[in-house]
């Protein structure tokens, strides 16, 4: 079992994310992305007779939560659910929950997953290519890198990595694996660097960052899972219930913004003096522009620089 010293995680936008939910002491809440349990711990501190259901497919996150939230687990105020949050509706139904007062998401990979070199998420640490959030699944980064056809690599690098040099990188990978399988994170990072022009290598940030992001999103179907889960959550929210979503890259933010906008908009025929109740939008956007980390948090936690928080309320 992991201890808290090995599961160091600085929770991003902690108070903003939970406070925007307007937590009711007796309410039912969901943390769809347990991670280091920072949001869960803070939300639980505001509950008296309420209950929290916390999701994570990562066994390490559950091991940590059993330590960090042991008192709340003993008193039965929190239920840990080991499942992909795309299965939100079914997993909650199995707990007898068909609606809730609020839900939060902290999308992307958690810091401890990056910090554990053996998980294969980091281009800075030598490890076998893996990148699975759920280590029981079969698809790994090794299969993506070594078995995907050139056009599939090009697709995910362009779509999920928004990488300008996707074609050159996909070709380099194709050439390298024809000689020998690409086994490790560092080997892949070196191949990526060899495909880039000097001008690109001199730019700020690691040259392999976008490709590693793309592969990670593909391995875990992060965008597909997020879309399915957020959409389910919108329907499961009680009236006046709120949903908070933290994103860390443009694709996650675009997805969240698009879903919120879709459910906060209705096509109303011209000339209607009053909008019927059944034509009211399902959501209201609480903040039109995303909430960003404060200067103090940016200094204390580098990961907060790309974080954006969007919040919506059920009508």
Structure tokens at 114: 């990056």
> 14-106+222-314 and 118-220: same fold?
no
CATH top class, domain 118-220: mainly alpha
Dist CA 298 CA 77 (whole Å):
32
Per CATH, is 14-106+222-314 categorized as 3.40.50.970?
A: no
Per-10-residue mean pLDDT for the chain, 315 residues long?
A: 47 96 98 95 97 94 95 97 97 98 90 68 88 91 98 98 96 98 96 94 89 95 96 98 96 97 80 65 95 94 92 98
User: What does the pLDDT read at residue 227?
Assistant: 97
Of the candidates 7, 220, 206, 205, the residue with the CA atom closest to the CA atom of residue 116? 7
pLDDT at 6: 47
pLDDT at 204: 82
DSSP 102: E
Q: Where are the domains of the chain?
A: 14-106+222-314, 118-220
Q: What's the pTM?
A: 0.89
Query: What pLDDT sits at residue 5?
Result: 38
The C-alpha atoms of residue 267 and residue 265 are separated, in whole angstroms, by 7
Q: What is the DSSP string of 241-273?
A: EEEEEEE-SHHHHHHHHHHHHHHT-----TT-S
């Amino acid at each position: 079992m992991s201890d808290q010293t090995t599961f160091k995680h600085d929770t991003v936008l902690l108070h903003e994310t939970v406070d925007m939910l307007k937590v009711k002491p007796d309410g039912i809440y969901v943390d769809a992305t347990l991670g280091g349990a920072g949001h869960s711990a803070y939300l639980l501190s505001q509950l008296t007779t309420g209950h929290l259901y916390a999701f994570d497919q990562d066994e390490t996150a559950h091991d940590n939560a059993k330590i960090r939230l042991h008192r709340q687990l003993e008193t039965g105020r929190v239920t840990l659910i080991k499942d992909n949050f795309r299965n939100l509706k079914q997993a909650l139904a199995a707990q007898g929950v068909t609606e809730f007062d609020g839900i939060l998401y902290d999308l992307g990979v958690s810091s401890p997953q990056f910090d554990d070199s053996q998980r294969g998420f980091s281009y800075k640490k030598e490890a076998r290519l893996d990148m699975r959030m759920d280590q029981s699944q079969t698809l790994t980064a090794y299969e993506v890198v070594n078995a995907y056809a050139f056009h599939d690599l090009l697709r995910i690098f362009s779509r999920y990595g928004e990488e300008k040099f996707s074609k050159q990188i996909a070709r380099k990978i194709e050439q390298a694996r024809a000689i020998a399988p690409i086994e490790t994170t560092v080997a892949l990072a070196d191949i990526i660097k060899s495909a880039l022009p000097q001008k690109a290598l001199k730019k700020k940030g690691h040259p392999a960052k976008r490709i590693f992001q793309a592969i990670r999103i593909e391995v875990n179907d992060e965008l597909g899972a997020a879309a399915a889960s957020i959409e389910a959550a919108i329907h499961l929210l009680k009236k006046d219930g709120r949903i908070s979503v933290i994103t860390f890259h443009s694709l996650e933010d675009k997805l969240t913004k698009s879903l919120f906008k879709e459910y906060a908009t209705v096509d109303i025929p011209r000339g209607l003096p009053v909008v019927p109740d059944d034509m009211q939008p399902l959501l209201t956007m609480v903040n039109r522009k995303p909430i960003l980390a404060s200067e103090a948090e940016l200094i204390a936690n580098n990961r907060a620089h790309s974080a954006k928080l969007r919040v919506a309320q059920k009508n």
